[in-house]
Every structure is written in C-alpha cells, then in structure tokens.
Amino acid sequence: ETVEMKATVRKINQSIFPVTKEGQKMFRELPKTEFVINIETEESRTLAQNNAIHLYCRRIGDAANAAGYEMHVKSELLRDVVEIPWTWESVKENIWLPVQMALYPSILRTRDLKKTEQVSAVAQVIGRYLSEKKGLNVPFPSKDGMDRG
C-alpha cells in the first residue's frame, strides 16, 4: 500500500526532524513499521539574494536615519529609551527577521528562505509598510542591480 504524505524536515546531525506542527503530528502518528521516504530538497536563497537583503537593510537604515526615524533602545542602566541611528544589522534584526518569522514561523534565518517567493514576500510586506506608514520608498534591489520601482 502506498500512502503519500509530505512534511518539511530539517536534518540535524544524523537525524531528521519535522519543522511544522502538522509535520510533528504526522511523525507521531506514523506506524511502527518500515517505510520509504522520498527526499526533495528545496533550494534556499542564493548568495546574491543574501547580498540584496543586506543592501536592502542598509538602504532602509539610511532612509530611516535621513528621515529622522531613530531606533529606540530601552536601557535599564540609563533608565530611559536611548535613540540611536539605524544600521543594516539593526534593520535586519528588528525589521526583516520579525516580519520573516511572522510570515514563516519555522524559518529562523535568512539562509533558510526559499528562493525568490519568500524573499520577495518579506520585502513586499516591509516595503508596503514603510511606504504607507512612514513615507519611505525603499525598493528591493533587483537582479541586475537596478532598483525595482
């Protein structure tokens, strides 16, 4: 008997673990017998896409700083909020990754994003918010180096 089931798994050392709650449930319910697993790999984002994400974060930081939007950091030592300039790293950590994880809760790092569709989805959410709510138009870098508008 052949039953087809699909689950996204992550390999850690010599074991595989389901990524989603649905996959975890499916694994728990597998019969205690031998079965055949067909493996398909999903291509993650490319190095060029990684560079584009970092460039996008840098551009967001530059635009936010130029527009007077500073990052607020709560400091127990100073007992107040400290305003600091944005950097590409702070944009990635405080804007890109929270949006990414809201869209794709099982993807914790940008390197695990699937190629174009997931990178584009995160960039579109961020771009739309910045444009509509903050008046910042920061296009995501395109493949040929020219900005998409």
Q: How far is CA 39 from CA 8, 14, 63, 115, in A?
A: 10, 15, 43, 18
- What span, in angstroms and rounded, lies between the C-alpha atoms of 126 and 96? 7
- Tokens found for residue 94: 């405080």
Q: Stretch 93-97: mean pLDDT, rounded? A: 96
pTM summary value: 0.66
Q: Which residue has the higher pLDDT, 135 or 144?
A: 135
Q: What average pLDDT does the structure give for the chain?
A: 86
Q: pLDDT tens across 118-142, in order?
A: 999 999 999 999 999 999 999 999 8
